[in-house]
Amino acid sequence: MIPFQSPLIKTIWRELYYRPRWYADSHAELERLFSWSEDPWNFQSSRYERDRLQALFHMVQRYPHDVILEVGCGEGAFTQELEKIAKHIVAIDVSPTALERAKRRCQATTFVNVSIEDFEWDGRFDMVICAETLYYISNVQVVLEKLKSLARFGLVSYVQRESRTLDPYVLQMPLIEFTQYQKSYWFWKRVMTMALWESNGSTHKHRHLLNENLSLPLTGDPFA
């Protein structure tokens, strides 16, 4: 039996117990989190999580995405949507428990239980996606350089409160977009940074501020 299923309890537990372990290679802690709780980030119930995945989805659509590497795929919530537009996806995660759930959800993806530091692949991807995963890596600069070597385009995202830590690394990349996506839920505003680079491409930075009234062009909710 998995003890933690209430969205509120999962959020409190995750924030209090796991955030102090950020910026460490906390593979065992992530596996413990998935063992103790299904959907620990509340993708099934959180409007914000669905909104941020939608924003990422539409950014991915605007660039070559036939062959995608997803780093930190978890239980496959975003992988499932990427399968609608990509021809081939390789998704990696350090948690075998999360990957077992992802395999049940996504039938057309190649899943690999490995860290990005140890990941090896013969060939280059069109795009590598590392969404909300840099927090669990100790050497961010080394990993970003590896991501740049693995694909022509790279997309990372992280919450705004981590900008002070992550921006200095991300802004060194050959960025073509650097976006703050924000949504307000009653009295609660959430802000996410999305940064996209092109390896061996232009280094001109396009900065956008997106909110609930000015957002990426939508062609319908892919999560409906």
Q: pLDDT at position 216, please?
A: 36
What is the count of structural domains for the chain? 1
- Beta pairing partners, 157: 131, 194
Question: Residue 167 carries which side chain, given as an amino acid letter?
Answer: D
pLDDT greater than 50 at residue 96: yes
| Assigned domain for 144 exists | yes
Residue predicted with more confidence, 161 or 121: 121
Domain region containing 108? 47-210
Q: Which residue shows structure tokens 């990372």?
A: 156
Q: pLDDT at position 29, please?
A: 81
| Assigned domain for 62 exists | yes
Q: Per residue in 52-69, pLDDT tens?
A: 899 999 999 999 999 999
pLDDT band at 214 (very low <50, low <70, confident <90, very high): very low
Residue predicted with more confidence, 35 or 198: 198
Which letter does DSSP use for residue 72 in this model? S
Euclidean distance between the first and final Cα of the chain, in Å? Answer: 30
Q: pLDDT at position 27, please?
A: 81
Rounded mean pLDDT of the chain? 83
Global confidence as pTM: 0.83
CATH code of the domain containing 100: 3.40.50.150
| Assigned domain for 20 exists | no
| Assigned domain for 3 exists | no
Q: pLDDT at position 21, please?
A: 58
Query: Rounded CA gap, 71 and 132, in Å?
Result: 9
Q: Per residue in 127-157, pLDDT tens?
A: 999 999 999 899 999 999 999 999 999 999 9
| Assigned domain for 94 exists | yes
| Assigned domain for 97 exists | yes
pLDDT greater than 70 at residue 14: no
| Assigned domain for 132 exists | yes
| Assigned domain for 104 exists | yes
